[in-house]
Chains A and B, each alone.
Chain A
């Protein structure tokens, strides 16, 4: 097949690499290879696991619900979602291609055998703790506290050892939540959503599905039916959450789908910064991740949600890797509320993700800062929706896409100004960087303006790394890889600086690792 000049550019079986003028032959060649060794989170943990019956049916859902000792209303809610899901079709509009998913080939529930609930951190199996340790996640309060105790309250020490409360999710269950007591003192509820269903049913019932309705989209509906665990956060009126909250998701068991559900509610005048990190071991099969995240910000509340996503992207031939089909949406329900999404997406074989803001409250603000890196055979279709409903609502979108290898990277976004959204403002900047001539970078913005006094601006550029800049840096003695890292860092700086400190460093490292081997 003449695939290099033919009509179907998506199909890519060309094995020969065309080296163009002006680009280092090695650069292109090396871009072909994505070494799996680069994925430092690719180990798996040997642990006995309890599964639900394989496949998806009402029985599976009853099984999950029973395992979690859920109330009747929640089981009914799940079943309603499941029945709805059966009538829906998988979306195909995104610029991603993957083998059809056989939903009966997955386990919808997997939990470390020793039980889903742990009385204290000491009951958590050693292997799990070791796993998180390897990932560099400060799960054990003790470890975190070592540097903090005594002098914990002085700002200087706090800066040296940032305190982060962690909820760790291992396959389908939350294994530990740290700093619980201290948060309770401030009135902040931070626990797994399964616990929250038992302990704060009124809050869960009030807000669950209020931002992402059960029937929102194919993957969200699936999640509503089978969601396993996730995190629940409630910050009461006027409280500024005293520390960063964080969840780490780890997909470990084979053939397992992960369907966590996160619900964060910030009451009037409250503030929380939440970090989410994800990893998964290397597996040949594709694993499915269909999460739902709902954020609710009431009057004057602010939620800052940061993600570093480093799911296993598959090997250089596109074998294995995570299908990341996630629905994330924030509702700026009250006036002057603010929701800010920051994401660094380096992993997953296929990403389908649009963290969005519904700007309902007058003067509310939505932000989306994104770095999406694709290499190897990765495909990412990600962006945001800013729905302006309230008066003087403002949104800002900064998206930086970097494509290398044979990957495809798409920004897809919607800015919608409702008739009532007096004096709404949006600024969007989408920049794409191509490294090597075998990848794709796409920008698909939809801009709907129904207000004459709105002010919308969108800018986008697509370029390759500047030869001049590369040469300049190398002339001053930087190695090529170092020069690329430097330039890429400059390219994404605007977004990196939106991340909390402790995440920014990690993200920067991750970028380097993700792009390793993309240049000669």
Chain B
């Protein structure tokens, strides 16, 4: 590689050098270059960078290689009647027959990624997705309403898997999508961009379960126009490092967002749920509920932020709750629920709890004759399930996955 490329990242580790090399092999493209430079500025984010102190990619990813633990290959999300888009380290496939109301555009060049500075790993996905002949960005335009669910699967063995999808919902369009992150590649980075135009309705379900040695960053950037309705439910089991990040902007009046998530981390699993919601227009609402349960040796991270700019953010109504259970000693839960508010006519609140199951609830159940272990399982499942209630037709599948994990 050329010296110039090599110098893009200060003190690169082997993984960063590999990323530079991969970038160097792609066709020249000004927008790709901008995205890569945005990533290269800081390289793989590490614990000394605000927002990454508990999720250190540089430390978790010394080299890029095929992981020792391939993880589960089963995708529990049903695909009957759904349109499946599959991304693997070697390329991707999508259904040829698309119903009216959905149009897919795949061009080899990259699209501009405006917010690349704030999302370094999203920028990396934008820079490295595609190749000489493969599309850099998969663009999907949606005009219809009664459409099948689109299912995106990120899986397959290999070293690295990069993907970028843009979905635009035209005014009044309705769509449900689901994403399964099953790992298999040592490093998976995806960038999903959703733009909801006036009155559009969108539901997104994210399922993440990959092997213990996988490192994963799924980044989503969301923009909501007037009266748009966005609903997201995430169920994450973590991996060596799994960061599921969503940045959402209310950019016109009266948009609504629901961002729910549940994480369940066993030993050696790290799940990071990070969200930032910007109330860039008046009278927008955000509801956020994140629940976690962590076992000995697991780590759950929750970072949430509401940002309400001056003047434009008036009449914001936003609520953020994060509740975590440390099911065993040795579990770790780190949380940063943040408010940054520059408008006075707002109702913003957040709550954060972490600890063990409620002793009163446990006693009440046992007094009625339910054995301790069973009471614990019932309470934990009910606790987690609350965050899955908005997942629509997929709620039961997610709940079943959570139940099976808890029954371990």
| A interface residue numbers (CB < 8 A to B) | 4-5, 9, 12, 18, 20, 22-23, 93, 95, 419, 432, 434-464
| B interface residue numbers (CB < 8 A to A) | 50, 54, 309-312, 314, 324, 326-356
B310 x A443 contact (CB < 8 A): no
Kindly provide the distance from the CB of A271 to the nearest chain B CB, expressed in whole angstroms. Answer: 31
A-B contacts, CB under 8 A, total: 134
Contacts of A4 in B (CB 8 A): 310-312
Q: Which of B328, B330, B347, B350 lies at the interface centre, i.e. has the most chain A CB atoms within 10 A of its CB?
A: B350
Nearest opposing residue in chain B for A454, CB measure:
B355
B329 x A453 contact (CB < 8 A): yes
B344 x A457 contact (CB < 8 A): no
10 A-B pairs with least C-beta separation:
A434-B344, A452-B326, A458-B352, A455-B355, A464-B344, A443-B339, A462-B348, A440-B342, A449-B354, A447-B335
A436 x B344 contact (CB < 8 A): yes
B336 x A464 contact (CB < 8 A): no
Contacts of A457 in B (CB 8 A): 351-353
B344 x A454 contact (CB < 8 A): no
B348 x A437 contact (CB < 8 A): no
B311 x A444 contact (CB < 8 A): no
B327 x A452 contact (CB < 8 A): yes
The complex places the Cα of A452 from the Cα of B311 at a distance, in Å, of 43
Contacts of A460 in B (CB 8 A): 337, 339, 349-351
A449 x B328 contact (CB < 8 A): no
| Cβ contacts A to B, 27 pairs, < 8 Å | A5-B312, A9-B342, A12-B310, A22-B345, A437-B344, A439-B342, A439-B344, A440-B340, A443-B337, A443-B338, A443-B350, A447-B354, A448-B332, A449-B324, A449-B326, A449-B333, A452-B328, A452-B329, A452-B330, A453-B356, A454-B355, A456-B353, A457-B351, A458-B350, A459-B350, A460-B339, A462-B339
Q: A5-B312, A447-B335, A447-B336 are in contact. Are A456 and B352 (CB under 8 A)?
A: yes
Contacts of B342 in A (CB 8 A): 9, 439-440
Contacts of A463 in B (CB 8 A): 346-348
Kindly provide the distance from the CB of B48 to the nearest chain A CB, expressed in whole angstroms. Answer: 10
Kindly provide the distance from the CB of A404 to the nearest chain B CB, expressed in whole angstroms. Answer: 10
Q: A9-B310, A449-B334 are in contact. Are A464 and B345 (CB under 8 A)?
A: yes
The complex places the Cα of A455 from the Cα of B343 at a distance, in Å, of 33
B326 x A442 contact (CB < 8 A): no
Contacts of A9 in B (CB 8 A): 309-310, 342
* One of A18, A448, A454 near B311 (C-beta < 8 A): A18
The complex places the Cα of A462 from the Cα of B279 at a distance, in Å, of 14
Q: A23-B345, A448-B334, A460-B337 are in contact. Are A437 and B353 (CB under 8 A)?
A: no
Contacts of B335 in A (CB 8 A): 445-447, 449
Nearest opposing residue in chain A for B53, CB measure:
A446
Nearest opposing residue in chain B for A412, CB measure:
B338
The complex places the Cα of A437 from the Cα of B355 at a distance, in Å, of 37
